[in-house]
Amino acid sequence: MPYVKTQDGTDLYVKDWGSGRPVVLLHGWPLNADSWEPQAIALAEAGHRVIAYDRRGFGRSGQPWSGHDYDTYADDLKTVLEAAGATENVALVGFSMGGGEVVRYMSRHGGAGVTHAALIGSVAPGILKSDANPDGVPEAQLQEIAGQIAADRAKFFQSFLRDFYGVGVISHPVSDPLVEQSWNVAMQASLHATLEAAKAWGFTDFTPDLAAVNVPTLIIHGTSDATVPIGATAHRAAQGIARNQLVEYSGAPHGLFATESDRLTRDLLTFLGG
């Protein structure tokens, strides 16, 4: 099942490893499903069936002009689950913008087949600063990001990915080749999809979706996340999701799948019972 065709004819590249209880890994912006590989291998070896796919417009998936919104992303997830025959005892794990897909699927499709959810450095319930979300990112800053991407995407992602992984003068939690690899993946995405996806994760309010997340939910976030502020997202998600376990990684940046790879893998395996 290397490709699945969505309702509007977009081809989604799907990785399907192992057998057992389905665990669906939803990647962050501007990467692809390969970013999950350390966790995917461990989960598959522990007896889970791991399904991960490249979001429309990114990686090896098709690059349509339309559909870069969370209703369509949730519909794409539903299509992948159905094509894979993953209709029961499913765990959804969303990183960064992928967390938005998790909560929107739960509300838009009634959480069909899902028994567990995990939000890792997730944008839900929203990062836009407002009276209700004072710890969020100001609209002007989000607009500036879009302008920088449109003007010189290559330059923008060089600095963005260093912040993403918490790379600084002293701190160096990941290697330079890993940052370079992420840059290469980001540059393979459609520029239009990159901009539209940023608009989706930056301006979508998932607060109404949280009540639909009625399954045990693991929330993991780095306290030094400079990309998705913990106060705007994980803390509010924990207030809005009834059956949650919030785990804060002290001093950790955004790209937890790489910077805290072993710990994240252990926490996911414990949560999923493997």
Q: Tell me, what CATH number does 234's domain have?
A: 3.40.50.1820
User: What is the CA angle 252-93-116, rounded to 5?
Assistant: 120
Residues 186, 120, 166, 176: what is their CA dihedral angle, to the nearest 10 degrees?
A: -50
For position 168, what pLDDT does the model report? 87
The domain containing residue 101 runs over which residues? 3-272
How many angstroms separate the CA atoms of 272 and 274, rounded? 6
Helix axes 139-164, 176-188, angle to 10 degrees: 130
| Number of alpha carbons in the 13 Å side-chain half-sphere of residue 247 | 18
Q: Which residues are catalytic?
A: 96, 225, 254
DSSP H helical segments within 111-166, as ranges? 139-164
For position 126, what pLDDT does the model report? 98
User: What is the CA angle 127-228-232, rounded to 5?
Assistant: 45
For position 170, what pLDDT does the model report? 79
For position 193, what pLDDT does the model report? 98
Q: What is the mean pLDDT of the chain?
A: 97
- Taking residues 22-42, what's their average pLDDT? 98
CA nearest to 102, candidates 119, 126, 86, 121: 119
- Taking residues 172-190, what's their average pLDDT? 97
Residue 274 has pLDDT above 80, yes or no: no
Residue 1 has pLDDT above 70, yes or no: no
The model's pLDDT over 5-19, given as tens digits with 9 standing for 90+, comes to 999 999 999 999 999
Residue type, 176: D
pTM (2 decimals)?
0.97
Q: Based on the structure, what is the number of domains in the chain?
A: 1
- Taking residues 122-150, what's their average pLDDT? 97
How many angstroms separate the CA atoms of 265 and 94, rounded? 14
Question: To the nearest whole percent, how much of the chain has pLDDT over 70?
Answer: 99
Residue 205 Cα distances to 12, 22, 123, 236, angstroms: 26, 28, 9, 12
- Taking residues 121-128, what's their average pLDDT? 98
How many angstroms separate the CA atoms of 115 and 218, rounded? 12
The model's pLDDT over 212-263, given as tens digits with 9 standing for 90+, comes to 999 999 999 999 999 999 999 999 999 999 999 999 999 999 999 999 999 9
Residues 6+ apart with CB under 8 A from 98: 25, 26, 27, 28, 120, 122
For position 171, what pLDDT does the model report? 84
The model's pLDDT over 139-173, given as tens digits with 9 standing for 90+, comes to 999 999 999 999 999 999 999 999 999 998 678 89
The model's pLDDT over 185-219, given as tens digits with 9 standing for 90+, comes to 999 999 999 999 999 999 999 999 999 999 999 99
3-state class percentages of the chain: helix first, strand second, coil last, to nearest 5: 45, 20, 40
Contact 84, 14 (CB under 8 A): yes
The model's pLDDT over 58-109, given as tens digits with 9 standing for 90+, comes to 999 999 999 999 999 999 999 999 999 999 999 999 999 999 999 999 999 9
How many angstroms separate the CA atoms of 259 and 244, rounded? 23
CA nearest to 128, candidates 196, 199, 222: 199
